[in-house]
Amino acid sequence: MIKPHGANALLPLLVTDTEKRRELLAEAEGLPSLLLNSAAAANAVMLGGGYFTPLSGFMNLADSLSVAENMQTTDGLFWPVPVMNLTADTRSIEGAARIALRDPNVEGNPVMAIMDVAAIDEVSEEQFDTMTARIYGTLDRAHPGVAVFRSLGNYCVSGPVQVLNLSYFATDFGNTFKTAVEIREEIAQRGWETVVAFQTRNPMHRAHEELCRLAKERLNADGIVIHMLLGKLKAGDIPAPVRDACIRKMVDEYFPDNTVMVCGYGFDMLYAGPREAVLHALFRQNMGATHLIVGRDHAGVGDFYGPFDAQTIFDELPQGGLEIEIFAADHTAYSKKLQRVVMMREAENHTAEDYVILSGTKFREMLEQGIAPPPEFARPEVADILIAHYQAEAQKNTG
């Protein structure tokens, strides 16, 4: 099986020993506390589950700047996006060497982790501009990732952590949320060697389904891991439980047994385009995938990135930066001429009229009106789930 990034074995920071965890939780009650924001809490979940191997905790400002500018830490570890714990107020932890990190997303703000404070760095506006421009490719606060990043606070609290729980992901998505450790174990149990990962924050339409099938065939892969984001999204995106139901229905109906794993991870979407695509590849390597499908505008939003920027960035990575490979995909659509889903760059003698393509707006309008989209675009079983969701939302808004 493919090695984790920068290590011979996964380094999950979740404390799994029951007695040790009990002792740490008791200790945490007497420690100064810092209430995390959702972005830092998501980083803690990824650290806890082994996805961010080989990191031992949150990066300091020097490492964060180095990662933003050069895609490596000051020690030379390849890493595409800073893993930071930013806050606007450090008064509650002033002078503390050891602190409790509390969950902003669960009622009562339970302790998520204990941190040994290595440094508290104040981030200047110039440093924020540098990181924002390099990570997101823009300073425009109309970009949802930029807006969130610049709202988190200007103090960077860094140091190693011991993670004590995985927030709401483990409870709200018990059948879907998996740590990198659990996914590696299941891949090994299935006997898979060549494994394709598919990243999604949306339900999967026919084109996504066929893209997974196409990648599996061309790479002669043993299986596919459909790996959905379960954390915070921008307004208007479809909620995780609905996506989960859609994807499971598609897999159950249209893929052979023991060829697809459906699971999810606890992280908030960055919408950082190329940089986030590399992060997606890195933590998919950690979970055991040998290949990641990277399509048009992967992890993008609006018109902030070119359609293939998330693919070409992999040509710029340092030799040996990552072991995982990408499967570079073009936009896929159903060809009326060929009567199958194709990658559009591979379809000869086609015009726009030869494809079944719906805009996102038109697709949503049809679903809200209870109209099933063409079966060439969406499986009817999936469309039924989406229609029920949109109609329920419309009823809430009018009721």
Asked if residues 195 and 223 have their Cβ atoms less than 8 Å apart, the reply is: yes
Quote the CA–CA distance of 325 and 126 in Å, as a whole number.
35
Catalytic residue among 70, 154, 202, 364: 202
Q: What is residue 5's three-state secondary structure?
A: coil
- Read off the amino acid at residue 367: L
Quote the CA–CA distance of 249 and 245 in Å, as a whole number.
6
Catalytic residue among 21, 134, 190, 201: 201
Is 105 a catalytic site residue? no
Provide the sign of the torsion angle of the four alpha carbons 257, 259, 263, 268, taken in this order.
negative
Instruction: Provide CB contacts within 8 A for 236, sequence distance 6+.
Output: none
Among 243, 227, 329, 245, residue whose Cα is nearest residue 286 = 227
Is 201 a catalytic site residue? yes
18-22: long-range contacts, CB 8 A cutoff, minimum separation 24: 21/164
Asked if residues 321 and 309 have their Cβ atoms less than 8 Å apart, the reply is: no
Q: DSSP secondary-structure letter at 47?
A: H
Q: What is residue 290's three-state secondary structure?
A: coil
- Read off the amino acid at residue 11: L
Quote the CA–CA distance of 76 and 83 in Å, as a whole number.
15
Asked if residues 31 and 121 have their Cβ atoms less than 8 Å apart, the reply is: no
Q: What is residue 155's three-state secondary structure?
A: strand
Positions marked catalytic: 201-202
